[in-house]
Amino acid sequence: MSEEKKNTPAERGSGMGSQPGNEFDRRAFFVKLGLGSLSIAAAGTAAFSYQFLSPNVLYEPSPIVNAGKPENYAVDSVTMDVNAGIYLIHAQEGFFALSAVCTHLGCLTAWKPELGIIACPCHGSKFTRYGVKIEGPAPRPLPWLQTSISDEGDLMVDRSITIRPMQFVRV
């Protein structure tokens, strides 16, 4: 008489009694898969929430340029600050600053000391050192920029404020 143990239907359905190691592996696999999916979803939610809550602001550099001490600029000199896109000019009448951006299509102009003019390399506009247009397609003169002396005695140029021409800063 053999004593063969028969599995109940519940045991057969769950795999209990037949291959106990496989059942444990499958359950552990699905637990890990679920946790992994939850982790990925949580990370995505966190990233999206951070982006949503961050202020949607464009940080731009300050329009104010510190051009340094007035004594650094010889009389009758035209000094270009390429990074700031300005000219700092020390004329007989005093200091002033011009935008170096051409009023035609926005190219950066250049000072031509041999000719004593500011010239645009793109379409040939030419300006005097006071920004007055001499020739070319530029529709307007180069703008004068607000220039002042700081408490520390530095020349400060505010590129966001244009002023009427011929307003010199005297030191």
Residues at the contact surface with ligand FES, assessed by CB under 6 A: 102, 104-105, 107, 120, 122-125, 136-138
Closest CA to 102 of 134, 70, 79: 134
Q: Compute the least distance from the CB of residue 75 to ligand FES, in Å.
A: 28
Q: Compute the least distance from the CB of residue 113 to ligand FES, in Å.
A: 19
Q: Which is nearer to ligand FES, 117 or 122 (CB)?
A: 122
| Cα 43 from chain centre | 28
Q: Which is nearer to ligand FES, 90 or 129 (CB)?
A: 129
Q: Which is nearer to ligand FES, 136 or 165 (CB)?
A: 136
β-strand partners of 99: 86
- Give the torsion sign (CA, 101, 104, 110, 113): negative
- Rounded Cα distance, 10 and 15, in Å: 8
Q: Compute the least distance from the CB of residue 155 to ligand FES, in Å.
A: 26
